[in-house]
Chain A
């Protein structure tokens, strides 16, 4: 039975680099491949990335299928779908994984439908056992469902990128065997054409759509202090929202008010600066994923519902955080 228990992972790139979520996915794939007793293969569609074979190999994939063509530089749903389907039909791996990114979540169902393969989306954990068990959050994350695949053949999964972490242990430098494929895409008649890309500006994006928010409250005090907040938000690409007092004080326009009489937001991360966490405010951040609060008052209600609470003067902490981010960025460059 344990003949073909190969694991495949789909890679994505951004700014000519393999995305960190993809690297983490290779690590996850290796962990599963080891348990399944199969090999690990990565597949990548797109533009050449320097040192790709090394990176992939080092993280544990022995093979890399690299499909490249002008038409693939940007995500083209139908082409990606056709090419990946063809490849998988031929190789019949045991498990195919992608990160549940905008690309992964779009491509995987297309391919799964073509293959009639079972697909479990947005997994936070995959367990190897008698049956493979896929754990995913349901009911807005309140519960976890354990899903199994009933259909035979290739199993597919997308994995929540936020739970993927790059393994800490040192890897042996290794080079993956690269199979380059240059498909012929001339004949494809595409129904979907990608015509452009709009880069969001974190300063102007609507707070209800923002993924990262710096929320300010009365504790920020003055417009003067607001400058440091703006700088902080720029560093981490956050949209700025705030409490009603911040709006009343004229620091923010009404469209940026969060709460019962403002907007409801659902960012991945919200950093609350000088906010006491009044109920009228927290009504608006119920769907925020990770909450951080900076407040000098240890007793503040805001700390009751946060993932990280920092008890300190924001005018002291925030400049330090900015410095820290800059230092880290320099380190990155230095590498």
Chain B
């Protein structure tokens, strides 16, 4: 009897109670809205800056919302917590849709059109789906409870609120199933076996031989309890961590198109201005929203090389602490008791300086955050304030700034020595009257470091061997500005960038090939902020093209175990990780071993973010941590395509006392294989 397969919506409670339900719903929504409204004040008003949400790149935003929001792509990179969260999310999402469907029938189609569609096969499917969803959600909750309270990993804090939330959800689910079970038990329709959860409850009840009367009574009580608990839950959302139900997807939407590889420029250098962030009020509303979108999942911390190297930095704590500062300030502002400069408002101790200087700007935190929060962006703002406003930093950094200002390079050697690395190689110089197809941007490391300048030379020789038409800037080359920018000296960076852009704009070439991934990223992704769009490629891409085109012929066998380390600014920032692997694999006999963290998930060598010129902050040496990790694959050669990484690994290999392990640049391996 197909048409029988449905149910009375207000069974046992009475349709006349509908009005009460709706009143309760309005109250719950009222709380919810009020909560969101209060939050909105905090999101928008604490910041001194006006922020507007931009809607450009809408496609990308929506895509990320679906992929990372609904389908939980970033979360599912880790199985247990990923599935756990996805179960809860998907379960609730489906249950929510189910409730909406009922509302649709009861309040729109049925009264207005006399159509009830929750019946027949559709109803059975509907029931089955909802039941599965409920069971999944329950499984997720149980997994979550186990994870947080039994096997708790280091990155999770033991929070009472989280427990309350989990139990609350569990109660909603359990009462839901019980209601269904009680109803099935008293109606005794065999087809309701499709409502698996409810059926199980009803089976239990029949084993217990429950009395009809008490069943009906219990159902009534539970029905109201379930309703109130559920509405209560709704009302609780904006007052708890549950707000991430709103903020996280919103944040994905807001931040999805932001590239982590570029830092936002300071646009107006005005003497009366304030640069960087010294109080929470200096953050933009978007940045503040990040604080609220953070779910404290700890993935950033798990992937942060500084944290793993036991430096005093955790990107998760950074967000947590800033959030606390923001809430403090916001509450005080609400009370309106003249908070300017009071607790939470003042800069000192927004974060410890050691925390701020521990970051290597490797972007791993932002890469791993499921809701697109960038911790290092906030750290950068604080650095800017330290450097530009307060001028407090290690003395060796002051030396570094002076070196660049006086000599135009990060080594403080000077333009007179800029062409020394090329002595004996005979490289053309690009100048006003002298053009070339390729401009080979050597970079300060390749120019001056006594190990890396050999690699710069090897590259030039490879280009020559392949017959490429290339030239260098020679003495006119200058620091690209990356380290200054990432230490926080935006002003010096922009002056440098402008100088280079002016020069490059004047010259004739088609493409820029860089040795260093940092120069690469800066020229390619950051100079466009100042109106300069050059066609920039990394040397690995160039070599790959030359090999593919047959201009470089690999002839030798190399029976070696080789581990390739992905430089952050190549792999994570620019998605170049298959290219160097392709090059290496083109050498017969070579066995490529992958470090545990590779490609976009790579682990910083320790030199980024200005650390090449900074003392080691207490903790383990980051390069040693990475070298150890790479050595797990027992390679004979560690190779990379970044001058910074190479120095760090040579240093690490030496300090770990690893005998016979060679550190080579990819191009050196190619040279040996020709």
Query: Are A and B interaction partners?
Result: yes
- Decide yes or no whether A261 CB sits under 8 A from chain B: yes
Which residues of B (182-237) have their CB < 8 Å from a CB of A? none
Binds A, one of B106-114, B338-346, B596-604, B610-618: B610-618
CB distance from A105 to the nearest CB of B (A): 27
**Of the residues A245, A260, A301, contact of B655 by C-beta under 8 Å:** A245
- Decide yes or no whether A237 CB sits under 8 A from chain B: no
CA distance A161 to B269 in the complex (A): 51
CA distance A167 to B616 in the complex (A): 50
- Decide yes or no whether B581 CB sits under 8 A from chain A: no
- Decide yes or no whether B450 CB sits under 8 A from chain A: yes
Residues of B close to A261: CB separation below 8 A: 396, 613-616
- Decide yes or no whether A238 CB sits under 8 A from chain B: no
CA distance A245 to B623 in the complex (A): 13
- Decide yes or no whether B544 CB sits under 8 A from chain A: no
- Decide yes or no whether A163 CB sits under 8 A from chain B: no
- Decide yes or no whether A162 CB sits under 8 A from chain B: no
In the complex, residue of chain B having the shortest beta-carbon distance to the beta carbon of A208: B395
In the complex, residue of chain A having the shortest beta-carbon distance to the beta carbon of B412: A283
Residues of B close to A262: CB separation below 8 A: 396, 615
The answer to whether B616 touches A260, judged by C-beta atoms less than 8 angstroms apart, is: no
The answer to whether B655 touches A248, judged by C-beta atoms less than 8 angstroms apart, is: yes
CA distance A79 to B80 in the complex (A): 85
The answer to whether B449 touches A254, judged by C-beta atoms less than 8 angstroms apart, is: no
Q: Residue among A248, A254, A279 with the most chain B CB within 10 A?
A: A279
Per DSSP, chain B at the interface is loop
- Decide yes or no whether A302 CB sits under 8 A from chain B: no
CA distance A244 to B655 in the complex (A): 10
Residues of B close to A260: CB separation below 8 A: 396, 612-613
Residues of A close to B613: CB separation below 8 A: 260-261
Binary interface encoding of chain B residues 612-647 relative to chain A, with 1 for a CB under 8 A from any of its CBs, else 0: 111110000100000000000000000000000000
- Which size bracket describes the interface of A in this complex? 10 to 19
The answer to whether A248 touches B621, judged by C-beta atoms less than 8 angstroms apart, is: yes
Per DSSP, chain A at the interface is helix
- Decide yes or no whether A264 CB sits under 8 A from chain B: yes
- Decide yes or no whether B399 CB sits under 8 A from chain A: yes
Binary interface encoding of chain B residues 410-451 relative to chain A, with 1 for a CB under 8 A from any of its CBs, else 0: 011000000000000000000000000000000000000111
Binary interface encoding of chain A residues 289-303 relative to chain B, with 1 for a CB under 8 A from any of its CBs, else 0: 000000000000100
The answer to whether A279 touches B621, judged by C-beta atoms less than 8 angstroms apart, is: no
Residues of A close to B450: CB separation below 8 A: 279, 301
**Of the residues B412, B615, B655, contact of A254 by C-beta under 8 Å:** B615
In the complex, residue of chain B having the shortest beta-carbon distance to the beta carbon of A279: B450
Which residues of B (533-567) have their CB < 8 Å from a CB of A? none
In the complex, residue of chain B having the shortest beta-carbon distance to the beta carbon of A247: B616
Which residues of B (431-480) have their CB < 8 Å from a CB of A? 449-451
- Residues of chain B at the chain A interface (Cβ within 8 Å): 396, 399, 411-412, 449-451, 612-616, 621, 655
A-B contacts, 24 of them at CB < 8 A, read: A244-B616, A245-B655, A248-B616, A248-B621, A248-B655, A254-B615, A257-B615, A260-B396, A260-B612, A260-B613, A261-B396, A261-B613, A261-B614, A261-B615, A261-B616, A262-B396, A262-B615, A264-B399, A279-B449, A279-B450, A279-B451, A283-B411, A283-B412, A301-B450
- Closest 3 A/B residue pairs (Cβ): A261-B615, A279-B450, A261-B396
With A257-B615, A301-B450 given, name 12 new contacts (CB 8 A): A248-B621, A248-B655, A260-B612, A261-B396, A261-B613, A261-B614, A261-B616, A262-B396, A264-B399, A279-B449, A279-B451, A283-B411
